[in-house]
A and B are shown apart, each in its own frame.
Chain A
Amino acid sequence: MKLRAIAFNLFAWGIVLMVAFPLFWMLVTSVKPQSELFRRPPTMLPEAWTFEHYARLLFDTNFLRYFWNSVILSTATTFVVVIIATLGAYSLVRYRYRGRETLAFLVLFTYLLPSVVLILPLYLMLVKLGLSNTITSLVIAYTTFALPYALWLLRSFMAGIPEDLESAALVDGASRMGAFRDIILPQLLPGIISTALFTFILSWNEYLYALVLVNSDSARPLTTGVMNMLISSFNIEWSLLMAASVMMSVPLIIVFAFLQSYLTRGFGAGGVKG
């Protein structure tokens, strides 16, 4: 029995190491001097530590511009998705109308299509709307694929809130909007936070839509911006790329660390009830 526990532990740690090693390597590479990068055998820890890559990235390139674009883009998408999904989930759970279930399934159906299929029609539509090459176009695009999942996630959260709570608020003198604000929203908070996290991460890491829809530096997010800047057909700037990757991951890691418990709760609710 004890042997089994040890074997299981070793196995689990093996997997953790496998997942963590690339992150470790990213961090280490970003602080190694250029001369040490391709040395054989490779050095595990840098012999000389340097932050020159970070400095170059921040001061000599467009990195901050892309970072700022990504922040605006992800925050805006998160706001739009959370607001629409919360109201939509409320409607799907609380009101009875013809085609309610069909509507919910149709929304999910769009999520099942590969995003490549949707890119071109979406691109053409955005061009027609005069939105090509703008952050707004990306916000719209990301909303289309984050919304279905967000709607379903919030729907299962909403279904878990007893209707009696809202009825009680109505009897106590609240309007429907008042009951929604005073009673439903606080109950829905864990769901809203996990939906917001999900959407934020999705928008922060998205690459394909950003590549197709935006090709000017003023609107490029981090993902395509960094690729465009550091990877050419002749050369890959590994140390800069690693430094950029670290800085791209940091916001997510911080947000994740603080809100981790909400996120796992959110995925749990989606898994059981959705």
Chain B
Amino acid sequence: MADVIFSDVQKNFGAFTAVESLNLSIEQGEFVSLLGPSGCGKTTTLRMLAGLEFPTSGEIRIADRVVNDLAPGQRDIAMVFQSYALYPHMSVGQNIAYPLKKRRVPKAERAKMVAKTAEMLQLTPLLGRKPQELSGGQQQRVALGRALVRDPKVFLLDEPLSNLDAKLRGYMRAELVELHERLGRTMVYVTHDQLEAMTMSDRIAVMEGGKLQQFAPPQDVYREPANRFVAGFIGTPGMTLVNGELRHEGGRWLFDAPGLSVEARNLGPDARPGPAAMGIRPEGLNIGTGTLPGIIQLVEQTGHENIVIVRFGDDLRMTGRTPPHQLWRSGETVQCSIDPDTAHFFAAGARGKRLNAPLQPATANGRVSKTTLKEAKS
């Protein structure tokens, strides 16, 4: 059963449209990330769900109840803010107890629930402290505690990890995934960090310019980006996008760009001859074998692999990756090839839609990454 439903939701601020006819249906117990660059409307979407902004038009439902006109406190949600928004004049214990106090939970029961939550998040020794006496990671856990202490229907998380350092962020990612699996509650998570979205979500809603671009499991968003924007936004290093032309010749499709001609396989029924774009992920570029001569422009050694930027012709640059022992020097000439089976094709334009034929599903539920994450943590 769908737990959270956005039907044709629109939000305007004066003449500016922050969210445009959004349709989104989130299943019960699902972990959904709203992903996109700054100003794409993801936070506005979350705030509308929280009741902190009201939609200009459309309908929002939580657990089969229209919540458009309900105050935030009546929606049975809990939210973790990017700034944590801990009440500075209250102790950790009072912060966690506040939502219970506002719901008139008796004092004795309140104390029990706070103690239980604090124990779960290892906050028990900190209960008497004020938020400003805590580290960033501890503050984050208090914010989580304040959300967890009740048992709300939906958890909303607004970039909760963005203020933590890289190491702690990795740890908290795993913690959140574990928490989600333990609680089985619906979670809506806003982030601009695709790694967070990819590793934690059941499904990702990629947004840009106030519009939903794609809503699919992480693996699908990566393997079958719905349009050129999603293709360019997802993946590190990013997909190389080359503008060129599709032509149909002798029963097969060819893609031509200055200094490059590749056979276009796996095209779907929407493909038409004319201007188009080809996208190549770093793993789709073979460096060292092939017939395409290129010049090594830059080599970045990350330790477990090398990121190599190769120049073809005058100004076409592509990113590839090689194993750590395969080192190239800048300026060296190499033979390369493009794996035609992994090439993505898009119609012309910044949001040109995908032209490839659909792929076979990669996994049963698209949640491979979560297991990997947990293994990494243990």
A residues apposed to B, CB below 8 Å: 162, 164-165, 167-175, 178, 182-183, 186-187
Q: Which residues of B contact A169 (CB under 8 A)?
A: 87, 98, 102
Chain A positions within 8 Å of B87 at CB level: 165, 168-169, 182-183
Q: Contacts A170-B71, A171-B72, A171-B77: A178 and B102 contacting too (C-beta < 8 A)? A: yes
Which residue of A164, A167, A173 has the most chain B CB atoms within 10 A of its CB atom? A173
Q: Is the CB of A164 within 8 A of B51?
A: no
Interface residues on B, range: 20 to 34
Q: Is the CB of A168 within 8 A of B81?
A: yes
CB <8 Å contact, B89 and A171: no
Chain B residues in 8 Å Cβ range of A174:
73, 102
Q: Which residues of A contact B83 (CB under 8 A)?
A: 162, 164
A169 to B51, CA, bound (A): 12
A61–B40 Cα gap in the complex (Å)? 74
Determine the chain A residues whose CB is within 8 A of the CB of B99 once the complex forms: 172-173
**Known A164-B81, A169-B98: A186·B52 in contact at CB below 8 Å:** no
Overall SS of chain A's interface: helix
Give chain B nearest CB distance to A271 CB in angstroms: 23
Closest to A164 in B: B85
Cα distance A225–B52 in the bound complex, in angstroms: 54
CB distance from B294 to the nearest CB of A (A): 49
In Å, the complex CA distance between A162 and B50 comes to 17
Contacts of A175 in B (CB 8 A): 71, 73
Chain B residues whose C-beta falls within 8 Å of the C-beta of A182 in the assembled complex? 87, 98
Residues on A with beta carbons closer than 8 Å to the beta carbon of B102: 169, 172-174, 178
Nearest 7 CB-CB pairs, A to B?
Answer: A173-B102, A173-B73, A168-B85, A164-B85, A172-B99, A170-B72, A186-B89
Q: Is residue B79 within 8 Å, beta carbon to beta carbon, of the partner chain?
A: yes
Interface positions, chain B 75-129, Cβ under 8 Å from A, are 77-79, 81-83, 85, 87-89, 98-99, 102-103
Q: Is B11 an interface residue (CB 8 A)?
A: no
Q: Which of A162, A170, A186 is the one whose CB lies under 8 Å from B73?
A: A170
Q: Which residues of A contact B52 (CB under 8 A)?
A: 167, 170-171
